[in-house]
Structure 1
C-alpha cells in the first residue's frame, strides 16, 4: 500500500526495519538512532527502553541543557517556554514491544508542550514517516530491538 503520493529524497525516511536493524534512506543501522526529517542520523547511546532517561529525551529533542533560573520563583512557578526549534512530538520506538516510559522521564518535555509517544519500533517508524510526510516537526528515536535485560 502506498502511504504517500510523493516523496522527497532530501528528507530522512525509514525505508525498512527488521528484528535487529532499522534502515533510513536505504542505509542499515544495527544500533539505536535518532533523527528528524532533515539533518544527520545520530547514534543514540541507549540499548534498552529501561535505559531511557529525561536527559536522553532532551538529547533526542535537540534541547540544550539549561541551568535552572535561581530567580524563577519570582514568576510564581511560571512554566518554561518551548524553544522555537523544538519538535512538536518525539516518537520513541522501544524495540519489538511497546514499553511505556515513566512519568519522571517524560514530564520535562511534556511540561514544555512537546508530545512524547512510546511504541514498538515498527509503529514508531510508520508513524514517523506519516508525520514527516505531512510536514510536521517530528523527531524519532528507534531501538532496533529490545536487548535482554
Structure 2
C-alpha cells in the first residue's frame, strides 16, 4: 500500500512492481528483488509483483488466489507454502486448473529457485510465495 497526496487528501493505492523480476534473496519474513525489499508474502505474476496477504499456516482459499485467477498467460503456478510443503485444498486446485494452470506446491525456498529458473527460460510462470 502506498500513501500519496491527491486533490482530495491522502490517496491509498495498491502498490506493486510492474513486470517480472527474479527473486534475489528470501528470509527474515520477506524477499529482495529488483534492488528493493518487501516484508511479507508475494504474488509474482506476469503483470507485476504484488503483496499477498497470507502468512505461513493460513488457510489456502480460492479468494486468496483471486488476483491470479484474473491474470492471463499463466501456464505454471508455483506455490511456496513456507518452511514445510502443504497441499492446496481440492477446491483451490480445481479453480486454478479450470484457468489452465499446472500447479506445483513446494517449500518457499524451492519455489523461489524454480521460479527464477523458469523466468530465465521465459516460460509462462507465476508464483505465490509465503514469506519465511
Normalised TM-score (structure 2): 0.75
Q: State the partner residue of 1:140.
A: 127
Instruction: Flag as ranges the 4+ runs of structure 1 deviating above 4 A.
Output: none
**Contact 1:34–1:44, Cα closer than 8 Å, also in 2:** yes
Relative contact order (alpha carbons < 8 A, sep ≥ 6): 1 or 2 greater? 1
Mapping for residues 55-134 of structure 1, pairs under 5 Å: 55-63=63-71, 85-134=72-121
* One of 18, 23, 26 as aligned partner of 1:17: 26
Normalised TM-score (structure 1): 0.67
* Cα distance in 1, alignment partners of residues 83 and 98 from structure 2: 28
The farther-off stretch of 93-102 and 41-50 is 41-50
What's the RMSD between the two structures over aligned residues? 1.9
**Which structure has the bigger radius of gyration?**
1
Q: State the partner residue of 2:4.
A: none
* Cα distance in 2, alignment partners of residues 119 and 49 from structure 1: 14
**Contact 2:42–2:130, Cα closer than 8 Å, also in 1:** yes
Q: State the partner residue of 1:70.
A: none
Q: State the partner residue of 2:62.
A: 54
Greater strand fraction, Structure 1 or Structure 2: 2
Q: Tell me, which stretches of 5 or more residues in structure 1 are unaligned?
A: 1-9, 64-84
Q: State the partner residue of 1:40.
A: 48
Pair 56,39 (structure 1): closer, same or farther in 2 beyond 3 Å: same
**Contact 2:119–2:125, Cα closer than 8 Å, also in 1:** yes
* Cα distance in 2, alignment partners of residues 109 and 91 from structure 1: 11
